[in-house]
Amino acid sequence: MKTHRIITDKLAQARQRGSCVFAANEAEGQALRRRVRAGELANPYHGVFVDAQYWNTLNGTEQACHLARCLAERYPSWVFAGPTAAALYGFDHQWSIHRSGLYLASSVRSRSSSNGVHHIFMPSIPLCETQGVKVTSVSRTLVDCALILPFANALPIFDSAFRRGSCAADGLRSLCAELHRDTSAADRVLQYVDPLSENGGESLARAVMIEEDFPVPQLQRVFANPRNSREWYRVDFAWQFPGGYTVVAEYDGMAKYSDPAMTGRRSIQAVVNQQNDRERKLYEWGVNRIVRLSYDDVVQRWPLVDKLTGAGLPRNIQA
């Protein structure tokens, strides 16, 4: 079988596995590098190759997982950690956390970062496996994410893990105590983790609210028709203040309007009409203000701040 046919088959098989390929010998390596120069293949890591057009369709999380699966095959002793392990576990997070590269557990303190791979020192590596890839335990993965990532990126990972029942707060606190280092960042995330958050977008929105000094919202509060308890709506975020003044915020990911799995294949107009009917009823049932937040509102921050302050939410800004 000619080399080009072998490579084509390997690329197709790797794609089915959600992985990349590496050269089995020098002849394959030369052929793969020629395809990179021709623009047919991408070379996202030293010695690792993937169809360029396919690679560009993947988001940051998918790319990180493809690389990890390939490198796990090439280097069986590698144990992935931190944000990379969180991606392999399938915890909700923002794709951007993978821009800095992959994370590995290392029992050698002096290992430095190179070629887009960062080493996290741990004298004893708590070994687990997911998707056939070696990773650190869920607890260690979460703690490392809290220590590496900003609060707003770490909270969605924690919410997702707790929502699945993959860990417990006491276990994480015990692990933090064993590390004999500053784990205040992990303590802060544990203070606010909430398994009621339904997805990473809602968790990110709540993290930004916290960082912008708004009161922590109640999640998934139910509002019911006072004349018919069987008619009710559950909202993403709610605040109720003395005197009964109630503010609701809804996080509108674009999937709410475009993903058939979420829209039931209804048209965008039908979804909007149902949304308007829902808002009308919430106002009738005692809600005073409803704020709709988009992903752009959250990541840009100032639109979120303007909308929430405009709805009357106070901010606990320290002088």
CB–CB of 190/154 below 8 Å?
A: no
**pLDDT the model gives residue 254:** 55
**pLDDT the model gives residue 319:** 44
Return the residue matching tokens 């576990």: 89
Using CA atoms, how far apart are residues 82 and 290, in angstroms rounded to an integer?
37
Which of 112, 74, 68, 108 is CA-nearest to residue 90?
Answer: 68
Using CA atoms, how far apart are residues 68 and 136, in angstroms rounded to an integer?
13
Using CA atoms, how far apart are residues 181 and 123, in angstroms rounded to an integer?
13
Burial of 179 (0-12, 13-18, 19+ CB in 10 A): middle
Q: Which distant-in-sequence residues (6+ apart) come within 8 Å of 255 by Cβ? A: 261, 262
Q: In terms of pTM, does the model score above 0.85?
A: yes
**pLDDT the model gives residue 6:** 85
Residue-range domain boundaries for the chain: 3-57, 76-195, 211-310
Which stretch of DSSP H or E encloses residue 46? none
Angle, alpha carbons 114-118-121 (nearest 5°): 125
Using CA atoms, how far apart are residues 282 and 279, in angstroms rounded to an integer?
5
Which of 52, 55, 50 is CA-nearest to residue 40?
Answer: 52
**pLDDT the model gives residue 246:** 97
Per-residue pLDDT of the chain (319 residues; tens, 9 = 90+): 355 788 899 999 999 999 999 998 898 999 999 999 999 999 999 999 999 999 999 999 999 999 999 999 999 999 999 999 999 999 999 999 999 999 999 998 766 677 789 999 999 999 999 989 999 999 999 999 999 999 999 999 999 999 999 999 999 999 999 998 999 999 999 999 999 999 999 999 999 999 999 999 999 999 999 999 899 999 999 999 999 999 999 998 754 433 444 334 445 555 666 788 999 999 999 999 999 999 999 999 999 999 999 999 999 865 4
Long-range contacts of 54-57 (CB under 8 A, 24+ apart): 54/15
CB–CB of 71/45 below 8 Å?
A: yes
Helix (H, G, I), strand (E, B) or coil at 134: strand
